[in-house]
Structure 1
């Protein structure tokens, strides 16, 4: 299930890793990827949903932690395994229109916002409680991560 280090997806994650280090958002010992068995656990949690290769590369490169990137947001293993439960909670609220079908929820923010993938799409989507529409946040996971890094860096200035 691991992605080869020569894979283009890993190249993008290596670039992001370098930006995390250069920006000071993370130090070398604050970036940790998932083990093969942890990646397999995440993949198993997806059932028949085919996880995007870029997400598997993310898990391998920094799926456990990445310094201050995403502080307060649960996208890192093992807390990311609770994303579907968070989505179920959000969807059960009055007036909410979040569908749980054919989606892989990979993260959540403080129980009111969830992040997910849809089948055959590299895009990252979100749904926020009280805002009954799905929004595409980025056309790809690397773009989503890059944007999150830019926000984090600007917040620290």
Structure 2
């Protein structure tokens, strides 16, 4: 398993999910914009590393999901609204960073502990968790590689 975002990107390249020209990171100013949008003093280190390494695009990874800059801007408010509408606002811990939303009904966030949670509309519990953002990304890349008929 990759231990850094750079080694994760190498995995994406090896699997064909991305090519060198389809992996684009954010600038430090764009990372600062994400941090301000989330209204937090800091972003989890692994998320900041992700943004700087592949925060604008990571090939075909998570296609159709708002997970990349600039579509992540505004997700903190959208995510809270989704959870409020489903009587699940208590699921989002204080200081969490909303990192993704799929089609307006699935939400992904990083807790201050670094754990990534996945929520699906209509539920009052978290659908699934991963120990870290990197674990989630690796899991998603492996599932996508299998769906494409390959392996990571």
Pairwise TM-score range, normalised by the shorter structure: 0.7 to 0.9
Classify the secondary structure of the residue corresponding to 1:80.
coil
User: Contact 2:8 / 2:138 at 8 angstroms: preserved in 1?
Assistant: yes
1:83-102 matches, within 5 Å, as 83-93=75-85, 95-99=86-90, 100=92, 102=94
User: Contact 2:38 / 2:76 at 8 angstroms: preserved in 1?
Assistant: no
CA 1:49/1:128 → structure 2, altered by over 3 Å: closer, same or farther? Answer: farther
**Scaled by the length of structure 1, what TM-score is found?**
0.85
Partner residue, 1:19: 11
Q: After superposition, what is the alpha-carbon deviation per residue over 1:100-123, rounded to whole angstroms, capped at 9, x for unaligned?
A: 56122111010001111222x111
User: Contact 2:87 / 2:124 at 8 angstroms: preserved in 1?
Assistant: yes
Q: Give the alignment partner of residue 107 of structure 2, picking from 73, 93, 114.
A: 114
**Scaled by the length of structure 2, what TM-score is found?**
0.88
| Alpha-carbon distance in 1 for matches of 2:118, 2:127 | 5
Partner residue, 1:66: 58
Q: Give the alignment partner of residue 27 of structure 2, picking from 16, 25, 35.
A: 35
Q: Give the alignment partner of residue 135 of structure 2, picking from 127, 131, 143.
A: 143
Classify the secondary structure of the residue corresponding to 2:126.
strand
Shift of 1:82: 2.6
> Pairwise CA RMSD of aligned residues?
1.8
Partner residue, 2:39: 47
